[in-house]
Structure 1
Amino acid sequence: MKYSDIGLLQMDAKIITTSSFPVDKKYYIYDFIDEITRIVFGYVYDSLGTNNTINAAQRAMKDFGELGTTIKRLRTDNAPEFTTTNWSNKKSYKVKERSFTTFLSKNGIVHETTPIRSPQSNGKIEQFHRHYTKLFYFKYKKLN
């Protein structure tokens, strides 16, 4: 089996704020990390939301596809842009399908969500986000 046959990626959004980075306003980066190769693609948007989430997934499908990896499973947390979680009581929850999950299904991708309050289930992308400031050098230049 080749690693490209596995096709499991972790996805999450990272908020880039003016207090933490040299940027002019708040930005959001949707990052995708391949569980095997640890290759990461990130896509910057000025807001969170289902449309941007779907667009980022489309871009990731193209970019990972160019590397020979077909995304077969995508694991996210339970953020509103990925899924809607309804608490029925303190011990259980019910997930409603969102247009993001529908988009993935139509493209042959299984949408996995992590258990509530268990960021370790998406540990590779969470660790990547924890070290953002150490991994990148940010230089902001305002365009006229």
Structure 2
Amino acid sequence: MSHANAALTPRQRLRLARKVVEEGWSIAAAADYFRVSWPTAQKWAHRYLELGRDGMADRSSRPHSHPNRTPQPLVKKIVHLRLRKRLGLVQIAARLGMPSSTVHAVLTRCRLNRLSHIDVKTGEPARRYEHQTPGALIHVDVKKLGNIPDGGGWRYVGRAQGRRNRASTPGKERNAYRNPLLRHAFVHTVIDDHSRVAYAEIHDDERADTAIGVLQRAVSWFADRGVRVERVLSDNGSAYRSHAWKHACADLAVKPKFTRPRRPQTNGKIERFHRTMADGWAYAKHYNTESARRAALPAWLHFYNHHRPHTAIGKLPPISRISNNLPGHYT
């Protein structure tokens, strides 16, 4: 391969070959003039005779054959153990009596080197999809979070102090054992399948009327950004299986779709968003009160949509897929 300090770039190779083939220079004279070895000058002259100008380009160093490559029957055994048994490379190597480095090379070549690429339920390679246009499908779901007591939760202050904070938080209901009930925050989330642009609201329940209100406002929010929602995908929760949800979707001209029972992978984009949201907002820092955490959500959503690089869409912010405006233009 040619490089910055190479004696012969493709252009110099062509000059050398023409000196020998067309101008009658000897191989020795051309090698001395271009400061290369005699075999090198001969190689480029012969290649010019065979292929002409096109023969001056670099060739791949990949060998024509691989006599020591792992036999195909053994490759099939490795793939079978990976897909059906979900074994690691050390376990596969032990079963087949071969080096773990060879097993790793085979799994990498077959794109099975990471178990995250394999579906947990079926053992088959994960099938990924993405709709071609914004609004063709949106995902909806609810993330349930425990409310934070005054003074902070146990994740940051420790379990002992967390229990004291729960006990001293005023205005909370108590159970039969007189322990305070802080209840939960229900984050209703909506994410566009194509762009990964997200919309979220926090409520104190996950009833059908609450979910419908979130959907109506989310559809309007996307419409303000030039996106028409066509379909909505949800799990089989009671709110989404209700007649009210069906009628609300009809009023919005949105087709409701549902995941297969006990298969959250179908709605995997929003499940992955929930993990990102938990790391980036819900548990990212110490909040003294639940109201402080709720107040921080809009700012984090803005950062996620307009500034945070998303690896699934080429390390661009999600808003770049539905808007020609630069991330910094939204304030």
Is TM-score (shorter-chain normalized) higher than 0.5? yes
Question: In terms of mean alpha carbon deviation, does 35-44 or 10-19 score higher?
Answer: 10-19
Question: Which residues of structure 2 form unaligned runs of 5+?
Answer: 1-131, 154-181, 293-331
CA distance in 1, matches of 2:237, 2:291: 31
Cα drift, residue 67 of structure 1: 1.2
Letter of the 1:126 counterpart? E
Write the mapping of 1:1-144 to structure 2, written as runs, cut at 5 A.
Answer: 3-4=133-134, 6-18=135-147, 25-83=183-241, 98-136=243-281, 137=284, 139=287, 140=289
CA distance in 1, matches of 2:290, 2:236: 34
CA contact under 8 A between 2:216 and 2:252: conserved in structure 1? no
Question: Residue deviations 1:29-68, cap 9 Å, x none?
Answer: 1100001110000011111101101100011011111111
CA distance in 2, matches of 1:50, 1:18: 21
CA change 1:105–1:135 in 2 (3 A) is same
**What does residue 91 of structure 1 align with?**
none
For residue 56 of structure 1, give the secondary structure of its aligned residue in structure 2.
helix
For residue 131 of structure 1, give the secondary structure of its aligned residue in structure 2.
helix
CA distance in 2, matches of 1:141, 1:118: 32
**What does residue 20 of structure 2 align with?**
none
CA distance in 2, matches of 1:142, 1:130: 21
CA distance in 2, matches of 1:38, 1:133: 16
Cα drift, residue 132 of structure 1: 2.8
Question: Which residues of structure 1 form unaligned runs of 5+?
Answer: 84-96
Letter of the 1:105 counterpart? A
CA distance in 2, matches of 1:141, 1:107: 33
CA contact under 8 A between 2:147 and 2:290: conserved in structure 1? no
Aligned residues: CA RMSD:
2.4
**What does residue 88 of structure 1 align with?**
none
CA distance in 2, matches of 1:67, 1:32: 15
Larger RCO, structure (CA 8 Å, separation 6 or more) = 1
Structure richer in strand, relative to its length: 1
CA distance in 2, matches of 1:135, 1:108: 34
Alignment TM-score, normalising by the size of structure 2: 0.36
Letter of the 1:61 counterpart? V
Question: In terms of mean alpha carbon deviation, does 25-34 or 111-120 score higher?
Answer: 25-34
Question: Residue deviations 1:52-109, cap 9 Å, x none?
Answer: 01100011011111111111100000001111xxxxxxxxxxxxx5211111012110
Work out the percentage of aligned pairs sharing the same amino acid. Answer: 22
For residue 144 of structure 2, give the secondary structure of its aligned residue in structure 1.
strand
Letter of the 2:272 counterpart? Q
CA distance in 1, matches of 2:136, 2:278: 28
CA change 1:142–1:70 in 2 (3 A) is closer
For residue 194 of structure 2, give the secondary structure of its aligned residue in structure 1.
coil
Aligned residues: 127
CA contact under 8 A between 2:140 and 2:270: conserved in structure 1? yes
For residue 61 of structure 1, give the secondary structure of its aligned residue in structure 2.
helix
